[in-house]
Structure 1
Amino acid sequence: MKLTGSCRCGAVSFEVESRTPYPYMRCYCSICRKTAGSGGYAINLMGDADSLKVMGAESKAVYNAEIDGEISPGERHFCKACGSHLWAWDPRWPELVHPHAGAIDSPLPTPPEIVHIMLAFKPDWIEVPNGPGHVHFQHYPDLSIEDWHKSKGLLET
């Protein structure tokens, strides 16, 4: 599935091919919360890095978060003009790019369940839905983005 996305002000836009287009995961870690705002919900899609096309790249900047006292090689790409977070890319997995679902302009399919991750880092003011259709993890989930899509029969060919 071809995903198109952009920042709030329109200075940066992009497109990327994705076999995993269901925005099913919500991350509550401090990096996702503080860089993307509110609950985070940032990195829950996966795309083919070779297919990424960026328009307005000169308006884009990169942030590398500090994790456990060390600067992460993972890059969080955002618009310098409006601050919108666009995607994450990590040289340890160079074939993948992770667009933020909130930056996607294409219609995304509705996931059959929501996986809440990194709940150990969730502040008290955030209420996490419970019940059918919600799965919870204190840290990382049991399945990768690709494996979750496969387990639900949702991996696009």
Structure 2
Amino acid sequence: MKLEGSCHCGAVRFSLESRHPYPFNICYCSVCRKTAGSGGYAINLSGDFDSLAIDGAEHISKYKAVIDGRESPAERCFCSKCGSALWLWDPRWPELVHPQAGAIDTPLPTAPERTHLMLSSKPDWVPLHAGPEDRCFDDYPEESIEAWHKRLGLKR
């Protein structure tokens, strides 16, 4: 599925191909909450890095979070003009890019269930709205984004 996205001010526009377009992974970790969170969590997707096309790349800034005292190799990309979180790219999985669902302008399919992860980092003020089919994890689950789509027969 082709996904198109942008920042709030329109300085950055991008597109990519995604075989895993369902926004189901809700992350409550402090990094996601503080860099891309709305509602106390962030939702990312998975896409093919080689298909990423960017208009306005000169307006992209990158942030590498410090986790457990070490700089993460993952690059969190955002618009330097308006601050919109756009995507994450990690050299440990160079074939993937993870756009923030909130930056995607293409209508996304509705997930039949959600995965709430990193609940051990969820602040008390954030309500957990888990549906009856949702799965909840204190840390990061072993099931990948690709495996989730495959298990539910949602691969495109």
With the length of structure 2 as denominator, give the TM-score of the two structures.
0.97
Q: Does 1:36 align with 2:33?
A: no
For 1:146, give the aligned amino acid: E
1:65-95 Cα offsets, whole Å, 9 max, x none, are 0011001010000000000000000011100
Q: CA deviation at 1:114?
A: 1.2
SS where residue 58 of structure 1 aligns?
helix
Q: Which runs of 5+ in 1 are unaligned?
A: none
When residues 131 and 105 of structure 1 are mapped into structure 2, their CA distance, relative to the original with a 3 A threshold, is closer
2:64 corresponding residue in structure 1: 64
CA contact (8 A) 2:12 2:60 kept: yes
Aligned counterparts of 2:29 and 2:142: Cα–Cα separation in 1: 17
4+ aligned runs moved over 4 Å, structure 1: none
SS where residue 50 of structure 1 aligns?
helix
Q: Which runs of 5+ in 2 are unaligned?
A: none
CA contact (8 A) 2:4 2:16 kept: yes
Q: Which moved more, 1:11-20 or 1:125-134?
A: 125-134
Q: CA deviation at 1:14?
A: 0.2
Q: CA deviation at 1:131?
A: 4.3
Alignment of 1:12-91 (within 5 A): 12-38=12-38, 39-43=40-44, 45-91=45-91
SS where residue 150 of structure 2 aligns?
helix
Q: Which moved more, 1:119-128 or 1:32-41?
A: 32-41
Aligned counterparts of 1:37 and 1:48: Cα–Cα separation in 2: 23
Q: CA deviation at 1:57?
A: 0.2
Count of residues in Structure 1 that have an aligned counterpart in Structure 2: 155
For 1:152, give the aligned amino acid: L
SS where residue 16 of structure 1 aligns?
strand
For 1:40, give the aligned amino acid: Y
Q: Which moved more, 1:108-117 or 1:131-140?
A: 131-140
With the length of structure 1 as denominator, give the TM-score of the two structures.
0.96
Alignment of 1:131-146 (within 5 A): 131-146=131-146
Aligned counterparts of 1:105 and 1:129: Cα–Cα separation in 2: 24
Across the aligned residues of Structure 1 and Structure 2, the Cα RMSD in angstroms comes to 0.9
Aligned counterparts of 2:133 and 2:33: Cα–Cα separation in 1: 22
Percent of matched pairs sharing the same residue = 62
